[in-house]
Structure formats: C-alpha cells, structure tokens
C-alpha cells in the first residue's frame, strides 16, 4: 500500500508537551536580555505528546533501509555490519567535555593516540591525525599538507593536482577547495592510470596526484610503483584516497606503495555506521616529511607519560575542524580494530575480495563485465544486452529494491557506461550472495520477457519513483 506519511508539524496540537523541566531554583534573569535582542515571537515548533513523537520517528524508521534490514552492496561505500558492542562502548565517553584540562581527559586522549598508532601500522604511514570529519574532509586536509609542503620549500609554482577521470567527484572538488587547479587525465582501457597520459601531464606545476587503489573499478593498479616514480620524479606528491582500503588490510599498505599522504573512511573500512549520511570520520595519514604540517593539536606523550595536545607547531596547516574530530566515531573504529586484531583485519579483506569475485563470477554471462579479471573488494558490471530491451541500470536498481536489496552504486564510475558497482563486503554469508545473484538473474530474465514489469518497479515500497525533475525545478525544501 502506497502512502505519504504525515510530517511531524502536521501532528502538532497546541499545548501538548513531550518534555519536562524542574522548577527553576534560582531567580529568573530573562529581563537582562537587551530589549532589541529579545525574541519577538514564540518559536514555531511542533507540540506533541511523548508517545506520538516516539511513534512518528519509529514509523519513519520503518520507511528506511539499513544494513540491519538487508544486503546493501553499495559500491565504494563498504556497507559492512556495524557491531552493536561498539555503539555501547562509544557511549561510555558521552559525558567527557572536550575542553577538560588534558590531565582529566587522559582516557580519551590516550585512546586517540593508540588509534593513531594502529592506523599507522595498518597503512604504513608515519603519523595520523584524527581531526577530519569525513572522507572528503580528509581529502581536503591531506591536500592542504601537500600545499604546505611545496609552500615551505618555496616551490610556489606547484599549483596543479592531477586526478584520473575515474576518480570520486570529491577528489577534484577537494583539490579546488585546497586552492589547486585540477588536471584530469584519461584512464587506460583497463581502468587504470594511463602511464603515457600521466607522463604528459606531470611537470613543474605538478603538486600531486590523487589516486584510489584499488581503483574505482575495483581493480588493483598494477603499475603503482611506476606511477609513484613518475609523480615523485616530477617533484609531486602522491595522495591515496582510502575509500577502497577494505580490499587490502594486512596485504599491502599505501605507505609501502609510495603514497605520501592518505585518508581513511572510518565509516567504511572500520565498520562505524554511516548514520544515513553521517557522521563519518576521515583520519589523514602522512609520511614523516609531511608531519610538520599536520593540523593542531598533534597528540604527543610528554616525559611523565601523559598524552598532551601540542599546539606549538609553527608550520601546521592550522585547524580543519573544531576540537579533536568526531571522537565518538573514532572510539567505534578503535573497538573494531581491537576486536579483530591484525589477523582479523586481513581475514576481513580476504573475504571482502572473495565475496566480490564470487558475485562477479556468478553474474558473468547474464550481465556485462567491462573488465573481466580478478577484482578486489568490488566489481563493476553493466546491463549488457538488457539495454536492447530498454532496461537500463536505474531500472535494475529499482527492480532490486522490490526483491529486498539495496541497489549497488549506479552510474559510477563515470568511465563505464551504465555502470553498476557492487561491493558485498566480508560480513555477508554465501547464501546472501547467492540469493542476491539469483535476484539479479531473475531481473535479467524478466527484462527480456516482460520489460514493462521492470520499468514499473519498485512496487513494494511505500512510495513510487519520485519526480526528481519537479523537485529540482520548483524546490520545496521545508514545510512552509
């Protein structure tokens, strides 16, 4: 049954309340607010009884789909299971004020320092900052290190960041926000970096290259050593976009591949929940030559063994976020790493790669596979011959919704026409993968015999396909 759902504002009845406050036990001081700064009207917020408020949000949640509801193979987003214990343990630190004197917050500071050290080992970097709040924020902070590095050497002509055309949209956007120009290079036919294009692109203006490895096609960049050499010989630095780190933990490390600076998405590889769009966390790792530029404060251990925030760093890029970062998210990532240990992290990556290859193998024949070789943690497929029946990637996505799955990432990477990027993660069982593939095969079959049924999808959801054109032409972005 399709239906819209009342907004909380439409449930409001004057005078109802879901809060209570104690009696004010000190004299009122409202009169101290200067006349001109006093509220001129009552806030127009909804008034509900507590049970109605609870039902409103509970029912809203039932119109949503998370990893706990079902398989969520959204490519590049690493929608693995989010352990329950980690939520509980992160809440242990809820009442710690961030401006406590360092000696009163040693637990939080030490936990952060220990997390930094573990991320260094996992990634082969020399130091980490946990300040950035998300992946794109990490990119920005990382690129600021590259900028500061060249600036402090007086090499001010290095104004260009090279970005492959297969890159996430955040890469070029982050580069511009860090004050760089962007030079986009075409990918090789296999989706990797075209070495000739790279050689032609580098020069005295090259500040650095941003790269995801495995690439956004889910393939390992076999020429990585050569790429690092070309960029470094040209005087540039190498940035690692850690969105795809889940493929390689304990197997190969960005630092050993030649990367100078990188970010991690804790809300992908390290299992912290994505919260329907955030909060994430985007720690940035650097090699020693970039350490002077790290954002303040840098955590260090003093002679008494106390962890203290160090602000006295004259070459620092400054701050990219207030306070220390998304601490609550960092705790969950710490819990995840400690739960699995080194062996468990490697096991996670191995099984993520195994699951992706298993899906790709089973889809072969029914769907197009533009780059048919061993993939890493995700695979890219296309509708193949289904487009001859008028069935496109977006239709397949909607048909998957009716079969109980969150669709893969669609129409990305941009270099593959009609791409579907499937990332199963390691936390899915074989039968989940089999059932998903069976659904994909069923869709392919129906697409040929009854394409209208695919075009009608989804039919099981609370609402049908939205009119996105109307939404963008005449934006309604609040309730009056």
Selected range binding another protein among 198-206, 231-239, 440-448, 472-480, rule: CB under 8 A: 472-480
Residue ranges in 369-428 that form contacts with another protein under rule CB under 8 A: 373-374, 376, 397-398, 401, 406-407, 409, 411-412, 426-428
Smallest distance, another protein to C-beta of residue 137, A: 6
Select the residue interacting with another protein from 149, 324, 367, 436 (CB under 8 A). Answer: 324
Beta-carbon-side half-sphere exposure of residue 214 (alpha carbons within 13 Å): 28
Residue 153 or 448 having the CB closest to another protein? 153
* Cβ atoms 427, 81 nearer than 8 A: yes
Residue 83 or 208 having the CB closest to another protein? 83
| Cα 306 versus chain centre, distance | 33
Smallest distance, another protein to C-beta of residue 124, A: 8
For another protein, how many residues bind (rule: CB under 8 A)?
Answer: 204
Counting contacts by CB under 8 A, is residue 153 touching another protein? no
Select the residue interacting with another protein from 71, 116, 135, 231 (CB under 8 A). Answer: 135
Counting contacts by CB under 8 A, is residue 365 touching another protein? no
Residue 375 or 446 having the CB closest to another protein? 375
Smallest distance, another protein to C-beta of residue 255, A: 10
Residue 349 or 382 having the CB closest to another protein? 349
CA-nearest of 321, 411, 343, 370 to 75 is 411
Counting contacts by CB under 8 A, is residue 186 touching another protein? no
Counting contacts by CB under 8 A, is residue 128 touching another protein? no
Smallest distance, another protein to C-beta of residue 386, A: 19
Q: How far apart are CA 87 and CA 82, in angstroms?
A: 9
Task: Classify 367 in phi/psi space as left (phi over 0), alpha (psi -120 to 50) or beta.
Answer: beta
b/e 322-346 (16+ beta carbons within 10 angstroms → b): eebbbbebbbbbbbbbeebeeeebe
Smallest distance, another protein to C-beta of residue 253, A: 6
Counting contacts by CB under 8 A, is residue 164 touching another protein? no
Q: How far apart are CA 75 and CA 87, in angstroms?
A: 24
Selected range binding another protein among 178-186, 229-237, 283-291, 445-453, rule: CB under 8 A: 178-186
From the number of C-beta atoms within 10 Å of its C-beta (0-12, 13-18, 19+), residue 396 rates as buried
Contacts of 128 (CB under 8 A, 6+ apart): 115, 116, 119, 120, 283, 284, 285, 286
Smallest distance, another protein to C-beta of residue 319, A: 4
Smallest distance, another protein to C-beta of residue 29, A: 4
Smallest distance, another protein to C-beta of residue 338, A: 6
Smallest distance, another protein to C-beta of residue 441, A: 15
Counting contacts by CB under 8 A, is residue 79 touching another protein? yes
Q: How far apart are CA 109 and CA 302, in angstroms?
A: 12
**C-alpha Rg value of the chain to the nearest Å:** 25
Select the residue interacting with another protein from 152, 233, 342, 388 (CB under 8 A). Answer: 342
Smallest distance, another protein to C-beta of residue 447, A: 19
Question: How would DSSP label each residue in 286-323?
Answer: E-GGGGGGPPSPEEEE-TTS-EEEE---TT----SSST
Smallest distance, another protein to C-beta of residue 390, A: 17
Counting contacts by CB under 8 A, is residue 235 touching another protein? no
User: Look-up: residue for tokens 């160090």?
Assistant: 310
β-strands 409-410, 379-381 pairing: unpaired
Select the residue interacting with another protein from 125, 127, 144, 210 (CB under 8 A). Answer: 144
Residue ranges in 57-76 that form contacts with another protein under rule CB under 8 A: 57-58, 60-69, 72, 74
Select the residue interacting with another protein from 173, 197, 291, 441 (CB under 8 A). Answer: 173
Smallest distance, another protein to C-beta of residue 281, A: 8
β-strands 284-286, 127-129 pairing: antiparallel
b/e 96-125 (16+ beta carbons within 10 angstroms → b): eeeeeeeeebeebbebbbebbebbbebbbb
Residue 42 or 303 having the CB closest to another protein? 42
Phi, psi of 471 (to 5 degrees): -60, -35
Select the residue interacting with another protein from 40, 303, 304, 305 (CB under 8 A). Answer: 40
User: Look-up: residue for tokens 């593939």?
Assistant: 437
Residue ranges in 187-216 that form contacts with another protein under rule CB under 8 A: none
Beta-carbon-side half-sphere exposure of residue 379 (alpha carbons within 13 Å): 25
Residue ranges in 282-311 that form contacts with another protein under rule CB under 8 A: 295-296
Residue 238, strand partner residues: 209
Residue 431 or 449 having the CB closest to another protein? 431
| Cα 264 versus chain centre, distance | 9
Select the residue interacting with another protein from 50, 155, 229, 310 (CB under 8 A). Answer: 50
Residue 89 or 369 having the CB closest to another protein? 89
Phi, psi of 237 (to 5 degrees): -115, 160
């Amino acid at each position: 049954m399709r239906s819209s759902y009342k907004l909380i504002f439409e449930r409001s009845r004057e005078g109802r309340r879901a809060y209570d406050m104690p009696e004010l036990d000190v004299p009122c001081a409202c009169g101290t607010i200067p006349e001109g700064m006093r509220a001129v009207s009552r806030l127009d917020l909804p008034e509900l009884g507590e049970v109605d408020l609870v039902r409103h949000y509970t029912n809203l949640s039932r119109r949503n789909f998370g990893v706990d509801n079902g398989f969520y193979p959204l490519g590049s987003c690493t929608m693995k299971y989010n352990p329950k214990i980690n939520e509980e343990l992160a809440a242990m630190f809820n009442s710690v004020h961030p401006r406590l004197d360092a000696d009163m917050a040693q637990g939080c500071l030490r936990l952060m320092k220990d997390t930094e050290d573990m991320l260094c080992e996992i990634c082969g970097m020399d130091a980490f900052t946990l300040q950035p709040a998300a992946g794109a924020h990490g990119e920005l902070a990382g690129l600021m290190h590259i900028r500061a590095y060249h600036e402090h050497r007086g090499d001010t002509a290095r104004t260009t960041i090279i970005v492959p055309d297969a890159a996430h949209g955040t890469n070029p956007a982050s580069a511009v926000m860090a004050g760089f120009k962007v030079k986009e290079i075409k990918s090789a036919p296999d989706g990797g970096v075209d070495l000739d294009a790279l050689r032609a692109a580098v020069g005295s203006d090259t500040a650095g290259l941003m790269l995801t490895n495995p690439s956004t096609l889910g393939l390992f960049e076999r020429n990585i050593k050569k790429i690092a050499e070309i960029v470094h010989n040209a005087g540039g630095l190498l940035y690692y976009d850690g969105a795809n780190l889940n493929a390689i933990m304990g197997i190969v490390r960005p630092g050993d591949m030649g990367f100078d600076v990188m970010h991690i998405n804790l809300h992908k590889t390290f299992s912290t929940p994505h919260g329907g769009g955030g909060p994430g966390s985007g720690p940035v790792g650097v090699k020693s030559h970039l350490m002077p530029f790290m954002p303040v404060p840098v955590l260090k251990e003093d002679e008494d063994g106390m962890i203290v925030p160090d602000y006295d760093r004259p070459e620092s890029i400054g701050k990219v976020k207030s306070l220390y970062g998304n601490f609550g998210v960092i705790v969950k990532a710490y819990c995840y790493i400690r739960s699995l240990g080194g062996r468990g992290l490697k096991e996670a990556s191995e099984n993520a790669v195994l699951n992706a290859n298993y899906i790709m193998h089973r889809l072969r024949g029914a769907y197009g596979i533009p780059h048919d070789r061993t993939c890493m943690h995700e695979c890219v497929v296309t509708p193949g011959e289904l487009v001859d029946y008028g069935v496109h990637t977006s239709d397949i996505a909607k048909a998957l919704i009716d079969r109980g799955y969150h669709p893969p990432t669609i129409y990305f990477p941009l270099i593959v026409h009609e791409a579907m990027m499937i990332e199963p993660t390691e936390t899915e069982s074989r039968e989940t993968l089999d059932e998903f593939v069976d659904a994909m095969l069923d869709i392919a079959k129906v697409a040929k015999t009854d394409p209208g049924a695919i075009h009608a999808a989804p039919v099981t959801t609370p609402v049908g396909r939205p009119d996105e054109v109307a939404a963008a032409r005449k934006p309604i972005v609040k309730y009056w």
